[in-house]
Structures are given as C-alpha cells and as structure tokens.
A = this chain, B = another copy of it.
Amino acid sequence: MQQAAKLTARGAATKARIVTAAADLMLERGAAGTTLDDVLAASGTSKSQLYHYFGNKDDLIRAVVRHQAQRIQQDQRPELDALDSLAGLARWRDKIVAAQAAHDQVGGCPLGSLANELAGGDQQTRSVLQECFAEWEAPLRAGLTAMRDRGSLSPEADPAALAEAIMAALQGGLLLAKTHRSSRPLARALDMAIAHVHSLATASPA
C-alpha cells in the first residue's frame, strides 16, 4: 500500500466496493469474525486488489469504521442538524428507534459494535473511533449549546456533559436492543435522556 499513488476512477470504485462489502459483513459478524476471503467474495475482488488498496486487515477495519461513521451521519440527516429544540430531539429519537426497528432488531450500532470490539486494540484504531464518536456527537452538543444560549435551557446545564450522556444512553440502548431483539430498551433509554433535557428546560423558552 503506497497510497500516495494516483487512484483512477476504476481504482476508486474498486476500493469503495471493498469497504462497503466489508462494512456490511462486519456489521453482522464483527470485525474479527469477518475473513478477508468473505470480503473478496462479497465484493467480487481478489486478494491482490485488497492489498493494493489497504496495508492489512487493520487498515481495512479503520476504513470501515470511518465508513460507518459517515453512513450514520448521512442516515440521520437532516434530524442531526436540528437538535436545538425539544421537538428536534424528539424527531431524532423517533428516527433512530424506527431505523432500529426496521433492521428487524438485528445489529446494534454499526459504530458502537465496532468500538466495543476494537477499543481494546491498538492506539491508532482507538483514535479513529474517538474521532468518529466526537464527530457524531458534535451536532448534538451544538444544538444543546444553542438551546442554553438562547435561554431554552437552564444556564447551569452543561451541553458537553449532556451530549455525552445522551450518546451513552443511545449506545447502551442499542446494545440492549440487540441483545433482546427488541427496540424497547432503546426507546426507554432515549426517552429517559430526553426527559432529562426537558427537566432542564426553562418555562419560558426565551
């Protein structure tokens, strides 16, 4: 992998095909449970192509992590950009619960599952995970900050802490949902988190 190379249109397409196939497989089998041969078969490529675009399996895994993070943000638009009101939070919640239910309750968070598996690994991969979570959390933190600055939330409310706690509820809710094959735990976790934001809302929304 000498990736400063040119990368023609065809090459880019092949690389994307590999990452997409790997992401799908790793979502349902985990990163360790997915073999490169599986990825090659699913993407219709060969060993040499994979090693042409990626240094090794870990490198591919990091690409998959970034891919899933992008996919999540894409899926959650435009709701992710309208988290500066209680109504906006409710819409985001509904979209997430609906998406989970649509997946037959199978497969938790594409990012959370990978994080769980890879957080104990090398520093490089963990850094990517941290960045991806931060990127995902940013719009939430921004929305809560806007609410506080506007006076919709109590001045004592800590947007950063709130956003992190909500993400934790989301991740835990998805894990329990996956385990129980039911979206109920996810719904309850998010409802609790949003109720907590409600309790910090001021009577007069400014």
Interface size class of A (residues with CB under 8 A): 35 or more
Would you call A28 and B120 a contact (CB within 8 A)?
yes
Nearest opposing residue in chain B for A27, CB measure:
B120
Shortest Cβ distance from residue A2 to the other chain B in the assembled complex, whole angstroms: 30
- Contact residues in B for A164 (Cβ distance below 8 Å): 176, 184-185, 188-189
Shortest Cβ distance from residue A157 to the other chain B in the assembled complex, whole angstroms: 11
A129 lies within 8 A of chain B by Cβ: yes
Most buried by B among A30, A106, A113: A30
A residues in contact (CB < 8 Å) with B: 28-30, 32-33, 106-108, 112-113, 115-117, 119-120, 126, 129-130, 133, 161-162, 164-173, 175-176, 178-181, 184-186, 188-189, 191-193, 195-196, 199
